[in-house]
Amino acid sequence: MTMLPPEVARVFISEDGIRRRVHALAAEIDATYAGDVPTLVSVLKGSLYFLADLTRALRCRHRLDFMAITAYGSSQAHTGSVRLLKDLDEEIAGRPVLLVDDVIDTGLTVAYLTRLLRARQPSSFRICTLLDKRVRRISENLPISFVGFEAPDVFLVGYGLDYRQTLLNLPYIGVLRQELINA
C-alpha cells in the first residue's frame, strides 16, 4: 500500500496503470508513424514526465522539440490568452508533428498551439494527451488522436501535475484534497 502525502485524497491512476497505458499509446503512435520520423513537441513543464516515458517506449525514430507558454494572469486563463515563452528550436515545415501534452481541459491552450503549429505547415499534425478532461472542454475540433485516460473534473496531482509547484514527482496521479483547492 502506497503512503499518500497528506494533500492527496486518493490515487486516481496507479504507477502501473500509467506505465501500461503509456506503452499502449507508444504502440499506437508507432503504428501511425511507421516509416516516418515525427517531431514530438512538448509543452514545458507539466508533460515532461509523460514525454520521457513515452519516448522511451516508442520504437519509431522521432525528434523532440519544446515550447513554453504562460497564461496572461489567472483571470484571463479561461480566455485562451497565452504568451509564448519558448518557441521551437527546429523547423517543422513538411514534417509530421505530434503535440504531446499532459492534460487537456478547456482546450483553449491546445487550440492556440494547434493554430500556431499548423501555420508552420507540417506534413501532418496530431495531438497526444495523457489526460483528457473532456467535461471541461470549451474549444472543440481539436485533432486529438491519442488519449491516455479520460479524467473527471477534479484537481489532479503527480506525474508532472503540480499543486503550487509541489507533488509533481509522485509516480502516480492522485486527487488533491478538496479543502486545499481554494485555500
Catalytic residue among 65, 105, 132, 162: 105
105 is catalytic: yes
d(CA 68, CA 183): 27
Q: Closest by alpha carbon to 64, among 33, 88, 28?
A: 88
Residue 151 DSSP class? -
Q: Interior CA angle at 20 toward 19 and 22, to 5°? A: 65
C-alpha cell belonging to residue 157: 496531482
Let me know if 18 is exposed, middle or buried by CB neighbors in 10 A (0-12, 13-18, 19+).
buried
End-to-end CA distance of the chain: 28
Q: Hey, which residues are catalytic here? A: 105
